[in-house]
Structure formats: structure tokens, C-alpha cells
Amino acid sequence: MEEYTLDIPVEPPKELRSLFIPIPPAYVEDVYKSDDFLILVGPQHPGSGHMRLIVRVKGDIIQEVIPDPGYVHRSIEKLAENRLYIQNIPLVERPAIMDAANFNLGYIRVIEEALDIEVPERAKYIRTMLAELCRVGTHLYDAAILAVFLGHTTGFMYPFGIRELICEALVRVTGARFTSSFIIPGGVRRDVDNSTLKWIYDMTLAMERRLKSFERIFIKNPTVIARLKDVGVLTKEEAIKYGVVGPFLRASGVEYDVRKIEPYEVYDELTWDIPVSDAGDGYHRFLVRVNEVAQSLSIVRQCIKQMPEGRVISEQIAENGEDIRGSFYDSLYDLVLPAGEYTTLTEGARGTIIYSIISDGESNVPYRVRIVTPGWLYLRGFMESMKGERLADLQAIYGSFGYFPPEADR
Amino acid sequence: MIDIFQILNYFFEIFSSDMMDIPLIAPIVDYLMQIPLLNILVALILWKPFFAVVIMPGLGVLTLYLLYIVWYERKLTARIQWRVGPLEVARPIRGAIQALADGIRYFFQEAIVHREAHRPYYVQLPILAFIPVLLPILFIPAGSAVGIYTPYSIQLIVTFIALIPITIVAIGWAANSRFAYIGSVREAFMYFAYEVPFIIAVISMIFLYGSGDAYIAVEKQSTIPGVLLNPIAFVVYIIAMLMATSRLPFEIPEADQEIAFGPFVEYSGILFGLVMVLAYEKLYIMTLLFTILFLGGWSGIYCPLLGDLNGPLWLFIKSVVVISILVIVRSIYARYRLDQALRIGWTSMLALSIVALIIGGAVGVWLS
């Protein structure tokens, strides 16, 4: 299409100088001189999370998106330096409360690796089950957000309704709807009885039936497919180059999953597949997660079937008995990690979570806790995938990535 | 004094010469007509042009319909989405006056006019927008009750409906904000996408009936309704109606997740209440025309007790049933993108409307 330029002097609006946007004034001037338009989406906007997106559009086509993360930064890493190792457990769950068990698990595994704590088999199964329940919950939450970003309110309500089952399961196991702090060094807080396990087993089957109605109304909906297909495409090379992680990397055709590459807990004893797709567009990023929900529910069922009897807390931690209840603080308050740096990789719902603890070997608080969350890792790929798409696709791509600013900002 | 009585008498003569004849309330009307001064009021209310415009199917039932449809839409959506919906305002009637409560709240809320707005236009336009919305009511006949009778009533209604988007674009311009600007551009694009197929679909029906007179249209549907005579025009009209009233899947100018209610983003208080119901009123007017063109208008089972009220009542009932079915799309579909909606408008809908035009011409020859 031929372009017609009008030689009208355009002044950049004054508010762009007073809004503390993290771009140089020269950039703003350049945008206004070249017939483009700057749109500030967020941090308080129905179609963005708590993050400002500075969108440069030419007509309806997005030229560039500059993220301005940090709006919900809570300095979790700094706070962690002033607390006991066990006091950090509730803290490190906070970045993504839907995905609490995976965040919790990653942190605990660093401590266990540093102290060479052997975890009992039953505790490992319970941990795996919790992690997968949280994964399902997070994927449902992201699906709901994607639906409401596309204007599909039924697609928003169904996953939240289905997610209540996950919350109920977590309540029955841990006592809290999501941030349960259930996983502790050496095992889990308490055992799970058989009737609860039976309930969770039945719940996964009930959930699959409900997911079918969600599939009918949202996943197979022609308008949804029209909005998401071939939108925000990241090729395999681009996805690797920009360091995309998790289901979004797998949607671009890279078969990478920490649970398979470096299996932790009992993932190597269970049979499951990595859902992969080659398309790399918004719809397949969503589909990969939908397939992961099915895999996760299968993992939960396998965990319940194969769960052995025995202790749920390591003998190294609870020396006196099988139960840590009542002596939790006494057993764990004086944890001191040997000097050095310890790192683990965990596959959270949205991707790889990197936990790294540096200890000086003598204090009972960490010297440094480094958390790299998946949201922060795929932010670049997320921004790159929006180039050249239409303005209305911004929300579709946002939803297809399930970007969660509190998680990325930490 | 005599002059005033003469004038009043003159008006009374006019009003009482053309009154709605409703046997159900005839004894009350007869009694009231004997009371001086009150009789002129009763005669005015029951004067057919006044009754059509102000009571039914005009402003009076339009207000009732607004209260009903906002509640019904929310309740239906809630039922589909495993929720309860509005309930707390008047629990015994399941929250049915929720819209009224919201309206009262809007009324007493502060209406903020931001600094960048073109103040006079910004405040006036929500009120001015009602002119093209309400003018078609003058020409919509309902049985024997009609505001202004004209043989070109269908054309006139379409003309006034076509004026509505202009006020919305002007609202977006007066708001002078980024999202409002994008919203008005989208509204203008959508206007072009649906208006041409919509007008062609209506023209095909005018061809079919051989006249733009609503009375002739209804008369010709006495055996077969218009929906069976020209089903393609019916489909085009429904899609155009969804696009014109920005309902999902074509809720593009107001997409709240993308551009935060587009042209109306800056409005608050009663001004927001006014612009929010614009689309519902447009839907009502378009559905009245839809009922006349495709569903046999005001013809229905004649109830002798209601007399002249039969026509307006049937028209209203049919319209509300159609709207109640249409609101279900809100909970089924996601929003299309602007370019996809434009593609639908300019390719498949335009092609379908031209097919409808041919069918309309052919059936029109067969009918005449």
C-alpha cells in the first residue's frame, strides 16, 4: 500500500514527559516525527497485568513494544537475606501464588542439595502430586486470563470454576488454598490420609469431564482460533535466541523440560509425555498448556496409585519421631548451609525456575538468594513476538504467554 | 378565559377523534373522560400518534425494555457461566431492578470532565446522540398506532439508524484521549463494514414487498413471514445487527480489554449511563425494524379485549423475544479482530446481501 505523508508539525504530548516512562525523550520525538503513535497500555488497564507496555504503532501495526516492568516489585530477594532459611519458605512462594508448590519445591531442593538431605519416597510422591496440582491450577488461571483478554467471559468463568477443584484438593492436603508452605526441608509437613488421596483421584476424573465443556465452548471455538492462530509467531530459532522457557519454548518446537532433562523428585519413575508443537503461534502456546493439563492430571493419578507407605519427613530432620508437627521450629531454626553457591532448576508451570543460594557457611540466614522466574526469562521473547502484529493482538499474545507481572518482578 | 377553553376544546377534539380503543380499560376511560381537564390528559395519552411514540412501542416500553434486558442479559450470562448473577437488589424478584439501582447510582455519581476534553461537545454529545436513536420511533408503526404515517417509513428508519455512528465518532473525538481516538476510528471502520450489506439487505426486502410502507410489508407477510421469503437477507440483517450494536463477536469499537470502552473511556457518572444504553437502544430500534421486515410485524393472535393495543403489544413481545435470543451470543463468542470483521463485512456479508437482493427481486415478482 502506498504511503502518503502529511507535512504537519507534530508536538509530542506533554504527559509523555511527566509520566516517568523509561524511554529517552528523543525516542518520543522520533515517534511523533515519523507518523507513529505511542500508546501506553497499563499498568492499570483491563488488558494488561500490572506492567506498563509502551506500544509504538504505525496505523494498526505494532512496530515495537517496550516493557516497563517493576510496578509490583516486592524485593523478595533482598527480604530473603534477613530471614531464617525456613522463614523464607512462605516468602519465596509469593511471586506466583497459583504456582506456590513449584516455587516452594525449588527453594527446598536447594537447601536439601546443600545439606545432603535424603527425602523419604512417600514425601517425594506427595511433593510431585502437589507440584502437578499447582501446575494444573496455574494453566487454568492463565487460560481464564487469555479468555477474558479475547472478550470471552464464559471462557473466563469456566476455568476459574474448574480451578476450585484444585483449590479444594490443596485445602484437603495442606490446609490452604494455594500458598500452603507445605514442602519443608527433608519432606513435607504432614502425611496425607487415604481418603484424601481417593478424593483427589476422583477429582482428577471429574475435572477431565468438566474440561470437555471448556473445550467445547472455548478451545474449539472458531472465533478463538481465528484470533490466536498465526498470531505472535516465535520460530524455533527465535525462541532459543530470546531465551524463552517452559511451555512457550515447547510450543516453538523445542523439546525441553527440566522434569525430563534433570529429573527431580519422582518424575523419572512415572510415565508421561512432553506436549510439543512446531507452530509457535499463540494458539499452540495455549494448546501445549491444555495438553499439559491432561498430562499433569495423569501424573497426579500415577502418584496416588504408586505412593508407598512410610515416613514423610527425613530422619535427618525429625530425629525423634515420624512427625515434625510440634517440633517444627526446634528442628529447623538452626539450619546453616555450608559455604558455597547452590543452584537448582525446577520446571514451574510457566517455565524454568532457577533458585540459587549463596551461603557464607556461618550465619543462619542466606547471604544471597537469587530467584530467576520464568516470566522474567520469556519477557524478551514475548516482546519480540508482538512486532508486526495488530494492536488488537497485543492482548491475545499477552494472554497466550500467560505473563504474570508479580512473578516476573518478584 | 373563553379563549383557553376554546383552545383546550380544540385539542380535545383532535385527541379524542383518534383514540386507542382498548375494551379492557374502556369503563375506566369512559369514567375519566367525563371529568373536565382530566379528560384532555387521558385523550392525549390514548391519542394514537402520542401513544405510539411515548408509550408503546416508544419511550415508555423502551425504558422498561432497558431495565429488563440489562438484567436478563446478565442473568442469562451468569446461568451459562455457572454463576448466580445480580441477586442482592430486590432478592424476592431475583435482582430484577439491578439496572434501576445502577442507573440511580450513575445519576448521583460525579460526572468528571477531564482537562483535555472539548468540554461543550463532550457534555452535549451523549444527549445529542439520542436524537438519531429516538427519531425512528416516530415512523415505526404498530398496528393502527403510528407517530407519523409515511409510505417511506422503512427507508426513513434506516436513514436515522445510519446517523447513530456519527455521534459515537464525535463522542470519541470530543473525549480527545488515546483510547477514545482508536475507538472512534474502529467505530468508523465497523460502520463501513456493516452499513452497506445492511442497507442492501433492507433494500432486498423493500423489493420483495414492492414498497417501503411498513403496512404493506406486514400485509404481504400475512401468510408467509419474511424470514422464509428471503432467509439470506435475514442472516445478513442479524449479523449486521450484531455489528451495528457492537455485540460480541463484533464488540470491536468498545473492546474493554483492548481499548477500555473505546470512545466512552473518559465518561463517568450519568454521562456514562447515557452512552452505555445507546447500543441497547440502537438494538431495540433495529429489532423493531427486523420484526416488521422478517417476523410479520404486529400481526399475531388477536385478543378482542385489547382492541387497538394488540398491534403494539405483539410488536413489542416479538422484539423482546428476538433480543433475548440475540444476547446469548455474548457468552458464546470471543471478539474478532478489526481486520477480520472488515473482511467478513466486505466479502461474505456483501456477497450474501447481493444474493439476497436477487432473491428479493425474484420473490417480489412472484408475490405481486
Task: Give me the residue spans of the domains in chain A.
Answer: 15-68, 76-409
Are residue B37 and residue B174 in the same domain, yes or no? no
pLDDT at residue number A199: 92
Whether residue B193 is contained in a domain is answered as yes
- Residue A60: predicted pLDDT: 84
More confident residue, A24 or B328: B328
CB contact under 8 A, A60 and B339: yes
- φ/ψ of A90, rounded to 5, equals -65, -30
Residue B125 CB neighbours (<10 A): 24
Burial of B156 (0-12, 13-18, 19+ CB in 10 A): middle
- Both B23 and B128 in one domain: the answer is no
| Contact between A60 and B258 using a beta-carbon 8 Å cutoff | no
- The pLDDT assigned to A136 comes to 92
Considering only CB atoms, which residues of chain B are within 8 Å of chain A?
Answer: 77, 80-83, 178-179, 182, 248-249, 251-252, 255-258, 260, 330-340
pLDDT at A179 over 70: yes
Closest-CA residue in chain A for B260? A46
- Partners of residue B252 in chain A, C-beta under 8 Å: 392
Shortest distance, CA A358 to any CA of chain B (angstroms): 43
Task: Let me know whether B28 and B122 are in one domain.
Answer: no
- Residue A155: list chain B partners with CB under 8 A: 334
Closest Cα of chain B to A303: distance in Å? 31
**B14 shares its domain with B125:** no
Tens digit of pLDDT for each residue in B42-95? Answer: 878 888 888 878 887 778 888 888 888 888 888 888 888 888 888 888 888 888
pLDDT band at A409 (very low <50, low <70, confident <90, very high): confident
Q: What residue in A sits closest to B257 (Cα-Cα)? A: A47
Q: Which residue of B has its CA nearest to A15?
A: B116
- Asked whether residue B281 falls in the same domain as residue B152, the answer is yes
Contact present, A169 and A200 (Cβ < 8 Å): yes
- What is the reported pLDDT for A1? 62
CATH annotation of A76-409: 1.10.645.10
Identify the pLDDT of residue B271.
Answer: 85
- Chain B residues with CB under 8 Å of A230 CB are none
Residues 6+ apart with CB under 8 A from B11: B40, B44
Rounded to two decimals, the pTM is 0.87
Upstream peptide bond of A67 is cis (omega within 30 degrees of 0): no
Q: pLDDT for B282-308, tens place per residue?
A: 888 889 889 888 888 787 777 777 777
In a domain, B209, yes or no: yes
**Under an 8 A CB cutoff, do B182 and A153 touch?**
no
A202-225: per-residue pLDDT in tens? 999 999 988 998 898 888 888 899
A201: confidence class by pLDDT, cuts 50, 70, 90: very high
Of B81, B178, B339, the CB nearest to A390: B339
Q: Which three cell numbers stand for residue A138?
A: 496455574
Is B355 inside a domain boundary? yes
Among A157, A390, A394, select the one facing B81 at the smallest CB separation: A157
User: Is residue B151, in this structure, part of any structural domain at all?
Assistant: yes
Q: Is the separation of the CB atoms in B61 and B33 below 8 Å?
A: no
Cβ contact, residue pair A148, B257, below 8 Å: yes
User: Which residue among A161, A223, A393 places its CB closest to the CB of B334?
Assistant: A223
Would the pLDDT of B28 be above 70? yes
User: Rounded to whole angstroms, how far apart are CA atoms B142 and B314?
Assistant: 9
Q: CA nearest B251 in A: which residue?
A: A151
Give pLDDT, residue A293: 92
Tell me whether A10 touches chain B (CB under 8 Å).
no
What total number of domains does chain B contain? 2
Residues B246 and B123 reside in one and the same domain: yes
B259 and B137 both lie in a single domain: yes
Q: What number is the average pLDDT over the span B100-108?
A: 86
How does pLDDT run across B194-225, given as a tens digit for each residue?
889 999 999 988 888 888 888 888 888 888 88
Q: Is residue B181 part of a domain?
A: yes
Q: Which residues contact B232 (CB under 8 A, 6 or more apart)?
A: B352, B353, B355, B356, B359
The reply to whether omega before A120 is within 30° of 0 (cis) is: no
Chain B CB contacts of A161 below 8 Å: 81-82
Measured CA to CA, the distance from residue A246 to residue B352 in angstroms comes to 45
The C-alpha atoms of residue A166 and residue B39 are separated, in whole angstroms, by: 68
Chain B residue closest to A47 (CA)? B257
Are A152 and B333 inside 8 Å of each other by CB?
Answer: yes
Q: At A278, is the secondary structure helix, strand, or coil?
A: coil
CA A164 to CA B57: how far, in whole Å? Answer: 46
- Same domain? B165 vs B246: yes
Task: Sort B13 into a burial class: Cβ within 10 Å, 0-12 / 13-18 / 19+.
Answer: exposed
Between A45 and A271, where is the model more confident? A271
Cα separation, B251 vs B253, whole angstroms: 6
* Same domain flag for B36 and B122: no
**Hey, how many other C-beta atoms are within 10 angstroms of the C-beta on A209?**
8
Q: Which of B80, B82, B264, B342 to mutate to test the interface with A (most CBs of A within 10 A)?
A: B82
pLDDT band at A36 (very low <50, low <70, confident <90, very high): confident
Q: What's the gap in Å between the CA of A353 and the closest CA on chain B?
A: 29
Which of A156, A228, A231, A391 is best to mutate for the B interface (most B CBs within 10 A)? Answer: A391
- Domain region containing B34: 2-46
What number of residues does chain A have?
Answer: 410
Helix (H) or strand (E) holding A357: strand A351-359
- The phi and psi torsions of B331 (rounded to 5 degrees) equal -95, 5
Could you read off the pLDDT of A275-296 as tens digits, one per residue?
898 888 889 989 999 999 999 9
Contact B256 A46 (CB under 8 A): yes
Pair A294, A274: CB distance under 8 Å:
no
Please provide residue B53's backbone torsions phi and psi, each rounded to the nearest 5 degrees. -85, -40
B328 secondary structure, DSSP code: G
Higher-confidence residue: B178 or B355?
A: B355
Model pLDDT for residues A333-388, shown as the tens digit of each residue: 888 888 889 999 998 888 899 999 999 888 888 999 999 999 888 888 888 888 88
Does position A29 have pLDDT exceeding 80, yes or no?
Answer: no
Question: B173 lies in a domain?
Answer: yes
HSE (CB half, 13 Å, CA atoms) of B58? 22
At A57, give phi and psi (nearest 5°). -115, 145
Question: Please, what is the average pLDDT of chain A?
Answer: 87
pLDDT tens for residues B221-255?
888 887 888 888 899 999 998 888 888 788 888 88
Complex confidence, ipTM:
0.81
DSSP lists the bridge partners of residue A352 as A347
A15 CB-near residues (< 8 Å, 6+ apart): none
Residue type, B157: I
Cα–Cα distance measured from residue A382 to residue B287, given in angstroms and rounded to the nearest whole number: 44
Chain A positions touching B83 (Cβ under 8 A) are: 157
Residue B230 counted as domain residue: yes
Task: Check A392 against B257: CB less than 8 A apart.
Answer: no
- Chain-centre distance for alpha carbon B85: 25
> How far apart, in whole angstroms, are the C-alpha atoms of residue B89 and residue A53?
39
Residue carrying C-alpha cell 500458598: A179
Mean pLDDT of A318-342: 81
Nearest by CB to A221, which of B255, B334, B338? B334
Interchain proximity B257–A147, CB inside 8 Å: no
Report phi then psi at A184, rounded to 5.
-125, 165
Residue pair A87/A43 in contact by the 8 Å Cβ criterion: no
- In this structure, are B138 and B224 located in the same domain? yes
Do the chains contact at B260 and A47, CB–CB below 8 Å? Answer: yes
pLDDT for res B40: 79
Q: Which of the residues B265, B337, B338, B344 would you substitute to probe the A interface, choosing the one with the greatest number of A C-beta atoms within 10 Å? A: B337
Cell numbers found for residue B281: 437502544
Chain A residues with CB under 8 Å of B178 CB are 37, 39-40
Neighbours of A17 (CB within 10 A): 11
The residue that leads in pLDDT, B258 or A260, is A260
Q: Is residue B292 part of a domain?
A: yes
Q: Which of A150, A225, A228, A229 to mutate to test the interface with B (most CBs of B within 10 A)?
A: A150
Q: How many CB pairs under 8 A join A and B?
A: 85
- From residue B28, alpha-carbon distances to B14, B19, B35, B48 in Å are 20, 14, 11, 18
Q: In chain B, what percentage of residues exceed pLDDT 90?
A: 2
**pLDDT score recorded for residue A342:** 92
